[in-house]
């Protein structure tokens, strides 16, 4: 007994010494109560290729904001949780963040399914949720409500930019390969609907719906070769699109069928593809390295330099989204002059605009949806022989996105369906 009590005493001593050190180590300036944001995203497994740079973007913006005195004199603090790409894990984390951590807001999501699940929880818990990385248009449209804001691009905008470019080409017979889940269907349907609207004589000659994460695409390649299509849209992404392209190239698919892709222009695909990149493919992407981009956006080069100095890696679209989302959230709180949920929602409902190193982002009031610039380009090799996005065409989401009236109709229709 004596032994045990002595050990307990020494443990208490060690613990209190530790706490004393920890308390004295806290910076003197951080006495104001921080504004806490619970951030739920996929920080293990296959999505980390996107979420790690995204988290760096958040960290960079948070540091800038806090170094400049924080928001309303209070530091901004993100509390990160891993959702393991699963909606139920995400909701569990959201519940813990709101219930135990007492966060002021929720943020996060890379998977559309996860985003919709957190959004449903936010509505029920009356906690404002900023969807920051997933892209389904349903978030703020069909399934929109007053407790969800979307701080990044949605599918509708960037895929319309791509469809507009497709409409300017002579191709009439189209096929596609899209992963068989929420995002895949969302992208293909938005693309073909807008393309047909711009060019009524377009026809779909063949469709491919592999499962998400399929690794063997040779049969789809054969089917596409036989389809008689002149052009195709690839909606598969990340590792799956790399596999698809590597398997399709030796069959000469892209010599026969012009490739349009929703995501091949991102570095997470272009870098590993290297000399196997499908040059000539038309695709959206964040080409910060492009001369024209840097000329149009004089502050972009400096931002890239700052990011690279911090992270020791080139930035990605995800990094820019983490960065922008943090500022968009901070701006809403600043305008509301409070971290009170209802006041921040009121500010978001009025809408506002912000300038970023890559252009203007509009936070639209009617659906609390971000409207950023859109870029579409063509895959080329640069002087070092590396595949890059070239011939960048810049447009703005505001000239492409569905109007507030159309959104109201979508919400009404979705409401009807639920009844």
Partner 1 sequence: MDFVTGLFPWITNGPLITVQVMSGLSVGMLLFLVSVGMSLIFGVTRIVNLAHGSFYMVGAYLMVTLVEVLPAQEWAFWAALLLAPFGVAALGGIIEIGLLRLIYRRDPLMQLILTFGLILVIGTLVLLAWGPDNKSVSRPDALAGSVRILGQPFPSYYLLVLGLAPVVAVTLWLIFYRTRWGMLIRAATVDREMLGALGVNVARLYTQVFMFGSWLAGLGGALAAPTVAVALGMDGDVLTTAFVVVVIGGLGSFAGTFISALLVGLLQSFGILIFPAVSIVLLFAIMAVVLIVRPWGLLGRPEE
Q: Which residues bind partner 1 (CB under 8 A)?
A: 44-46, 48-49, 51-52, 180, 207-211, 213-216, 218-220, 222-223, 226, 238-240, 242-243, 246-247, 250-252, 268-269, 271-276
Q: Which is nearest to 404 in space by CA: 339, 338, 349?
A: 349
| CA separation for the pair 270, 24 (Å, rounded) | 47
Tokens 């191709």, residue located: 171
Residues 6+ apart with CB under 8 A from 411: 141, 142, 144
Return d(Cα 291, Cα 67) in angstroms, integer. Answer: 31
- Least spacing, CB of residue 246 vs partner 1, in Å: 6
282-284 and 203-208 strand pairing: unpaired
Contact 133, 41 (CB under 8 A): yes
Residue among 145 and 256 whose Cβ is closer to partner 1: 256
Shortest CB 337 distance to partner 1, Å? 39
In 10 A of CB 361, how many CB atoms?
23
Instruction: Give the nearest distance from C-beta 318 to partner 1 in angstroms.
Output: 11
Is 20 or 46 the residue whose CB approaches partner 1 more closely?
Answer: 46
Nearer to partner 1, 27 or 385 (CB): 385
Q: Looking at 251-336, list the stretches that DSSP marks H as alpha helix, in order from N- to C-terminal side.
A: 253-256, 267-273, 291-296, 300-311, 317-336
Task: Rank residues 99 and 272 by Cβ distance to partner 1 and give the closer one.
Answer: 272
With respect to partner 1, which residue has the nearer C-beta, 51 or 135? 51
The DSSP 8-state label assigned to residue 137 in this structure reads G
Q: How far is the CB of 175 from partner 1 (least distance, A)?
A: 12
Q: In sequence order, which residues have a C-beta less than 8 Å from that of residue 415 and are 6 or more positions away?
A: none
Report, in Å, the least distance between residue 55 CB and partner 1: 10
Considering beta carbons, is residue 252 or 415 the nearer one to partner 1? 252
Measured from the CB atom, the residue of 208 and 339 that comes closer to partner 1 is: 208
Are the CB atoms for 299 and 305 separated by under 8 Å?
A: no
Report yes or no: 222 and 208 within 8 Å, Cβ to Cβ: no
**What phi, psi does 290 have (nearest 5°)?**
-70, 135
């Amino acid at each position: 007994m004596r032994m045990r009590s002595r050990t307990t005493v020494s443990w208490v001593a060690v613990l209190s010494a530790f706490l004393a050190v920890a308390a004295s180590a806290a910076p003197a300036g951080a006495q104001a109560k921080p504004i806490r944001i619970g951030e739920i995203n996929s920080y293990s497994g296959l999505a980390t290729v996107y979420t790690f740079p995204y988290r760096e973007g958040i960290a960079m913006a948070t540091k800038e904001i806090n170094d400049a005195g924080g928001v309303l004199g209070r530091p901004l603090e993100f509390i990160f949780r891993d959702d393991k790409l699963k909606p139920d894990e995400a909701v569990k984390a959201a519940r813990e963040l709101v219930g135990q951590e007492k966060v002021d807001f929720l943020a996060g999501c890379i998977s559309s399914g996860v985003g919709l699940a957190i959004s449903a929880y936010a509505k029920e818990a009356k906690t404002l949720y900023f969807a920051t990385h997933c892209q389904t248009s349903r978030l703020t449209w069909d399934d929109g409500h007053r407790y969800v804001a979307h701080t990044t691009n949605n599918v509708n905008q960037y895929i319309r930019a791509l469809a507009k470019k497709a409409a300017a080409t002579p191709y009439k017979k189209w096929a596609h390969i899209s992963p068989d889940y929420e995002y895949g269907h969302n992208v293909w349907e938005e693309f073909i609907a807008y393309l047909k609207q711009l060019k009524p004589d377009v026809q779909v000659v063949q469709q491919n719906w592999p499962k998400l994460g399929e690794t063997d695409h040779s049969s789809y390649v054969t089917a596409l070769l036989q389809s008689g299509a002149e052009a195709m849209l690839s909606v598969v992404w990340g590792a799956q699109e790399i596999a698809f392209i590597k398997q399709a190239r030796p069959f000469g698919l892209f010599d026969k069928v012009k490739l349009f892709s929703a995501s091949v222009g991102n570095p997470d695909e272009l870098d590993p593809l290297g000399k196997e990149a499908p040059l000539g493919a038309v695709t959206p992407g964040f080409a910060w390295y492009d001369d024209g981009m840097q000329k149009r956006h004089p502050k972009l080069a400096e931002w890239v330099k700052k990011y690279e100095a911090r992270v020791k890696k080139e930035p990605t679209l995800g990094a820019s989204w983490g960065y922008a989302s943090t500022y968009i959230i901070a701006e809403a709180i600043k305008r509301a002059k409070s971290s009170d949920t209802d006041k921040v929602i009121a500010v978001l409902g009025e809408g506002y605009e912000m300038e970023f190193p890559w252009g203007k982002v509009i936070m639209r009031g009617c659906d609390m949806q971000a409207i950023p610039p859109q870029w579409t380009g063509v895959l080329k090799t640069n002087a070092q022989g590396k595949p890059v996005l070239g011939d960048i065409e810049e447009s703005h989401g505001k000239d492409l996105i569905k109007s507030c009236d159309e959104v109201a109709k979508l919400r009404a229709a979705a409401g009807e369906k639920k009844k």
